[in-house]
Amino acid sequence: MHKFIFVDCINNKGCHINRSAEITVSDLVSAVKQYNLTLTALEAAVTTHPSPQQVIDILMARDEVYAARTAKTQTDKESLMMVISLDDRLKKQRELINKLVKLAEWRAIVHPPVEAWWWFLEPPTNKWDKFDWLWSAGSVTLITASLSLVVDISSRFLTGVPDTLGAFTITTQSVLTLLAAGGALTKTGQETIERLLISLNIPKHFQNEVKFGFALLLFFCLFSFRFSLPKIAIFYNIQGDKDYKANRFASAQSNYSRAIKLNPDDLKTHHKLGQIYEKLQDFDRARAEYQIAVQGDFGKGYNNLARLYILDKKYTAAIALLKVALNQTKDTEDQQLEYFLLKNLGWALLEEKRYVDAENYLQEAIELVNNKTPAYCLMAQVREHQNNKKEARLYWEDCVRYASANDPDEDAWIVMAKRCLEVTQCLETKKRDN
């Protein structure tokens, strides 16, 4: 009889050494059979849920075979061939065993002999494993960058109350990034990802590369989406235009604001938003949007900002802006814009009592576009201040003839025109010119 120390583990909660077990020669066949059963059970559980208990069962069964063969002076060929075959199968499960348990810790408790190689089933070192630190560091870096992109993208969609598109975009990218972060940065996430990769038959020495690939793919998708935001902004811009035409100014303001968040360099939308703020009587915000448009040399921004300066009686600032815009507009062939720049420049000069200069710019505006009210109304005022009543009356008549409600300044001028056509002295020219 031969005494052998083996491990007895109950419910995976602890292991103790049983020194009282004695294995006789007659136990060899049954030990080999038990070894076969436990190994077959582990192999069958690879695609389901293998457990540490199955590992300890195999190691104990192999201990029994070792003890039985050690006690026997001779071994029959059939048993020997069976053991060799089973050992070969056991070695193929070394990767799975090392995923389920930490053999080094178990060896520190059991102290198996060197001959008990099954307690030393460490996974073989693969040449790719030496780069695992690099792939892991790369994965963490990419996921960190992805989280930054999610924060940036989400902040751009969170203007006011998120709409359906914005809510869907924020939710989708946040969930994907958090899943990736959980898989790379938390123990539970790492174990879940490893089980998934095992089920996909990904070798262990390539798992860090696969994780890096997923992190790279996520970052690339978020990066591409981030730089496609200007295209998404077009959608909100179109919605804002529809709202503006339907006089839904609050809704238009919301859509234009979202478009600017997604594409801050869209000067045209800044100008449109400035117009909306004017409609909403929020002149400070309107001025701020026009100033952004002016910084990008957007011609209509110059015109509208100068108009607000005129209304604020900042005529010198308005004249400077308008002259810069005129120099930039001459080669654009935008007659409508050039007309309004000339008209507003004549208006500012009129308010500064520079009547000759005002007359020149207003006359140029009329020659450029001869069917708009504002320039006629302003020219009539110039003629009144020049005491040229005859020509003033002709311009007042044209002022009324081409009147429309498109310009917010026209109402007051039309009222003035009708009054001037009815009386001889409609403006207090002497008082104003002194």
- The per-residue pLDDT for 350 is 94
Q: Which domain holds residue 200?
A: 129-227
Please tell me whether residues 93 and 171 are part of one structural domain. Answer: no
* Domain end point (choices 200, 227, 254): 227
Please tell me whether residues 84 and 172 are part of one structural domain. Answer: no
Residues of the chain with pLDDT under 70: 1-27, 72-75, 124-133, 157-207, 331, 405-409, 425, 428-434
Residue 79 lies in a domain: yes
Residue 49 lies in a domain: yes
Residue 97 lies in a domain: yes
- The per-residue pLDDT for 22 is 45
Residue 407 lies in a domain: yes
Please tell me whether residues 110 and 145 are part of one structural domain. Answer: no
Residue 18 lies in a domain: yes
- The per-residue pLDDT for 1 is 39
* Domain end point (choices 204, 227, 250): 227
Please tell me whether residues 34 and 51 are part of one structural domain. Answer: yes
- For 154-195, write each residue's pLDDT tens digit: 777 666 555 555 554 556 655 555 555 544 545 555 556 666
* Number of structural domains in the chain: 3
- The per-residue pLDDT for 227 is 82
Buried b (16+ CB within 10 A) or exposed e, 308-336: bbbeeeebeebbebbbbbbeebeeeeeee
- The per-residue pLDDT for 241 is 93
Strands 2-3 and 15-18: unpaired
- The per-residue pLDDT for 18 is 44
Please tell me whether residues 60 and 90 are part of one structural domain. Answer: yes
- The per-residue pLDDT for 173 is 55
Residue 155 lies in a domain: yes
- The per-residue pLDDT for 434 is 36
* Domain end point (choices 181, 210, 227): 227
